[in-house]
């Protein structure tokens, strides 16, 4: 991803607080983790983050007022949703499993199989007005977003503060920018494994053995601080499944049939079921779908290791939870 003219580094160790008594929305980054890139046309501000936080939980972004971003991205599931797929507002079946959002600011590819979606701003708009599949159902009704939110004095005030250069305009572009700003605060670096690596605090012997097996057999694809190489791969167990062409749905290339992005494994114990279609109900089953030869004991050890990637503070942090009051109640 190029940084020339388009991106700037934003230091996430800066503590942005909503108020003097509020916890920081951005935590200090661990040593060795570089800050993510943020678009120059969408700088992070306290008001924009809080606006995005409220919009993330607002079902008025869906055509019938029944679905918000948080409907599919639940904090208790590390911002996945616990289902194989999630149907849209009109009952359209979901195409793929909902991924978690931990550390999404660092991911260069944001979906299972669409290489065009490389910015949170662009991706945030897809569930709102996309139609492949229909999720929130606002395609052709984008003006309704401005109409609904403009009737709310709280939102009018917040958009003016968050987007002064745009004159406080309320539209799909500014909504997507606010959502992206909030999503960039979804940091998760406080799992037992993080603390083990940072301080030497012990983890179980079986988890240590699992780490060894994982590094040997899994880390070629599940690499880096978020345990993903961001690349597209074909699982041999899915090679005969023609119901979802994966990357080929976008590229049209036969060589891309069945290829999907390597998912991050942060909080993986909370984000099941697994694989692009949610067809693996357990981590053990997901591991067995890969073309690696592991004994039952090795798989058990790897599962124990992956459980150490669970950041419980991420699932309880009030900075990410349903806001205590809706924007409407502030008016």
Interval 174-178 mean pLDDT: 98
Secondary structure of residue 146 in the 3-state scheme = helix
**CA separation for the pair 40, 52 (Å, rounded):** 17
* 24 pLDDT tier (thresholds 50, 70, 90): very low
Each domain of the chain, given as residue ranges in start order, spans 7-187+314-330, 192-307
Kindly state the DSSP code that residue 99 receives in the 8-state scheme: P
pLDDT of amino acid 14: 40
* 299 pLDDT tier (thresholds 50, 70, 90): very high
Q: Considering only CA atoms, which of 192, 161, 202, 170 is closest in space to residue 50? A: 161
pLDDT at position 240 over 90 = no
pLDDT of amino acid 238: 64
**CA separation for the pair 188, 24 (Å, rounded):** 14
User: Are domains 7-187+314-330 and 192-307 of this chain identical in fold?
Assistant: yes
- Distance between first and last Cα of the chain: 41
Q: Domain 192-307 sits in which CATH superfamily?
A: Cytochrome c-like domain (1.10.760.10)
With pLDDT > 70 as the criterion, what percentage of the chain qualifies? 89
pLDDT of amino acid 328: 64
pLDDT tens digits, 268-297: 999 999 999 999 999 999 999 998 999 999
**CA separation for the pair 188, 323 (Å, rounded):** 19
CATH number for the region 7-187+314-330 comes to 1.10.760.10
Residues pairing with 260 in the sheet: 233
Interval 238-266 mean pLDDT: 91
Radius of gyration (Cα) for the chain, nearest Å? 20
pLDDT at position 54 over 90 = yes
Listed in order, strand segments (DSSP E) in 112-196 are none
Interval 10-29 mean pLDDT: 43
Listed in order, strand segments (DSSP E) in the chain are 7-9, 37-39, 232-234, 259-261
The sign one gets for the Cα dihedral 297, 274, 78, 266 is positive
pLDDT at position 8 over 50 = no
pLDDT tens digits, 113-149: 999 999 999 999 999 999 999 999 999 999 999 999 9
Interval 70-84 mean pLDDT: 97
pLDDT at position 20 over 50 = no
* 27 pLDDT tier (thresholds 50, 70, 90): low
Task: Say which residue, 29 or 152, is predicted with more confidence.
Answer: 152
* 167 pLDDT tier (thresholds 50, 70, 90): very high
């Amino acid at each position: 991803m190029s940084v020339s003219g388009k991106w700037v580094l934003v230091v996430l160790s800066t503590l942005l607080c909503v108020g003097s008594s509020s916890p920081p929305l951005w935590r200090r980054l661990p040593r060795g983790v570089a800050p993510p890139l943020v678009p120059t046309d969408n700088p992070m501000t306290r008001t924009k983050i809080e606006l995005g936080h409220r919009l993330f939980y607002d079902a008025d972004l869906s055509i019938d007022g029944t679905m918000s971003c948080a409907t599919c991205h639940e904090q208790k599931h590390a911002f996945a949703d616990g289902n194989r797929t999630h149907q849209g507002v009109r009952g359209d079946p979901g195409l793929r499993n909902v991924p978690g959002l931990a550390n999404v600011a660092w991911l260069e590819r944001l979906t299972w199989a669409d290489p065009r979606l490389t910015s949170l701003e662009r991706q945030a708009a897809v569930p709102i007005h996309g139609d492949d599949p229909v999720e929130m159902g606002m395609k052709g009704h984008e003006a309704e977003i401005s109409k609904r939110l403009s009737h709310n004095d709280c939102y009018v005030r917040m958009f003016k503060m968050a987007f002064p250069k745009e004159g406080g305009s309320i539209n799909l572009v500014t909504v997507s920018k606010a959502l992206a700003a909030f999503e960039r605060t979804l940091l998760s670096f406080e799992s037992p494994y993080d603390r083990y690596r940072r301080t030497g605090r012990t983890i179980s012997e079986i988890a240590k053995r699992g780490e060894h097996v994982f590094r040997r057999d899994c880390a070629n694809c599940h690499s880096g601080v978020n345990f993903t190489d961001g690349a597209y791969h074909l699982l041999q167990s899915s090679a005969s499944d023609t119901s979802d062409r994966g990357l080929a749905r976008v590229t049209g290339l036969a060589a891309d049939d069945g290829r999907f992005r390597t998912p991050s494994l942060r909080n993986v114990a909370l984000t099941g079921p697994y694989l692009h279609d949610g067809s693996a109900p357990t981590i053990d089953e997901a591991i067995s779908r890969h073309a690696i030869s592991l004994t039952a004991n090795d798989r058990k050890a790897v599962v124990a290791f992956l459980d150490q990637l669970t950041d419980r503070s991420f699932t309880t942090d009030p900075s990410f939870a349903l806001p205590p009051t809706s924007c409407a109640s502030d008016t």
